[in-house]
């Protein structure tokens, strides 16, 4: 990422595979500096791929999903939610 700091300077930031920052007076110089920093870092490091297992626990919300589907009060609750949302949206000082 290259950003102009002022009329007289630029900052280049490399976030992946490692966080590095360079600053220089011109865009070309800052790109050369960040390229040099990345090359130097990669020359003395090893990039590896790591597998991270994902928990296979079932979604806890699935146990209650649909339990209110045929309840006689569901329509009223949904209408109350919509009414409250309309009230909040109409408030002049809402964020």
pLDDT tens column, 3-54? 999 878 999 888 777 789 999 999 999 999 999 998 998 888 887 788 888 7
Domain that holds residue 30: 2-43
Identify whether 78 is part of a domain. yes
Same domain for 66 and 35, yes or no, is no
Same domain, 7 and 36: yes
Quick one: 10 and 39 in the same domain? yes
pLDDT the model gives residue 70: 87
Residue 50 lies in a domain: no
pLDDT band for position 95 (50/70/90)? Answer: low
Q: CA distances (Å), 49 to each of 17, 34, 46, in order?
A: 12, 24, 10
- Tell whether pTM > 0.75: no
From CA 42, how far away is CA 12, in angstroms rounded? 17
7 and 37 fall within a common domain: yes
Q: Which stretch of 48-57, 61-70, 72-81 has the lowest confidence by average pLDDT?
A: 48-57
């Amino acid at each position: 990422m290259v950003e102009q700091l002022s009329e007289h300077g630029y900052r280049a930031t490399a976030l992946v595979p490692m966080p590095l920052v360079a600053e220089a007076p011109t865009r070309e110089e800052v790109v050369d500096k960040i390229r040099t920093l990345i090359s130097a870092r990669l020359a003395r490091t090893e990039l590896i791929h790591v597998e991270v297992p994902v928990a296979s626990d079932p979604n806890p919300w699935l146990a209650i999903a649909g339990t209110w589907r045929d309840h006689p009060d569901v329509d009223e609750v949904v209408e109350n939610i919509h009414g409250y949302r309309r009230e909040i949206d109409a408030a002049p000082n809402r964020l």
